[in-house]
Amino acid sequence: MATIGFVGLGAMGGRVVKRLLDAGHPVIGYNRTRSKAQWLLEAGMQWGDSPRTVAEASDVVFTMVTNTAAMQDVLGGEDGILAGLAPGKTYVDMSTISPAVSREVATQVAAKGAQMLDAPVSGSVITLEQGNLSVMVGGDPTTFEQVKPILLHIGPKVNYVGTNGLAVLMKIAINLSLQVQILGFCEGLLLAEKGGIPRETAIETMLNSVIASPSLKYRVPFILNMPEEAWFNVNMMQKDMLLALEMGRNFNVPLPVTAIANEPLTSARALGLDQKDFAVVYEVLALMAGLHK
């Protein structure tokens, strides 16, 4: 099997690596905070001292980081991934960043004689652990076919959507619905609770109704019990909403619901809740409505 490099071992990235290890792939990884990777080292992952070391030691190197700035941090400089790329290598970015930046990076990668794919995922920690994650991919179709067997070890649904940057665009188009859905759910829940229906009863009833999408089913329980470590915090959700609004302006596509759904995220940040999972928007609305826990 190809040797895989992986930079960014957070809640999602670390679990992706675990799936690759379980599939038999040799993996060399790097994370800014090494302690977060200890469980993967115990599972058989090798450690790289820098992103460059990881790229040099692998055939296919992945990144999965929080935003454009974090991606540029691990790419550039003497110890960055770009410095470790060479002809025949493939770089796969699974982050959700600006499509324009993704295309710029693809050009930089090509200058090294390597190939780049953007391959963000749709799903959550639970989806990933259950083996139900979906992957969307942009880039050279031949390179995609070469990397596809690796991606299928991450998730069973892998869709090629077009040239570099288009998979990131597809991910942004999908992710805006996450906030729109949770906000609509929270408004209905708050209406029920203020009218006298216990929160737990209302949540159970709503999740047994036709509105219960897969994303709501795994995120709404956080309204009752917020996880200590957010799967997808307010800052990350708002980053995707702002990317969507930017794309809307670029393409002359009106996104009125996206614009409105973004505002409670700003309120959450103002209340110091930015590190909470974005399901915390219920708490924001409840405070505005005079309903306290």
Active site residues: 171
What distance in Å separates the CA atoms of residue 248 and residue 33, rounded to the nearest whole number?
A: 36
Token pair for 44: 């058989």
Please, how many CA atoms are within 13 Å of residue 53, restricted to the half-sphere of its CB?
Answer: 10
Q: What backbone torsions phi and psi does residue 116 show, to the nearest 5 degrees?
A: -125, 140
44: left (phi over 0), alpha (psi -120 to 50) or beta: left
What distance in Å separates the CA atoms of residue 81 and residue 54, rounded to the nearest whole number?
A: 8
Query: For residues 64 and 8, is the Cβ–Cβ distance under 8 A?
Result: yes
What distance in Å separates the CA atoms of residue 229 and residue 239, rounded to the nearest whole number?
A: 18
98: left (phi over 0), alpha (psi -120 to 50) or beta: beta
Query: For residues 29 and 7, is the Cβ–Cβ distance under 8 A?
Result: yes
What distance in Å separates the CA atoms of residue 293 and residue 291, rounded to the nearest whole number?
A: 7
What distance in Å separates the CA atoms of residue 188 and residue 216, rounded to the nearest whole number?
A: 13
Please return the burial class of 246, using the count of CB atoms within 10 Å of its CB with bins 0-12, 13-18 and 19+: middle
Nearest to 82 by CA among 57, 59, 56: 56
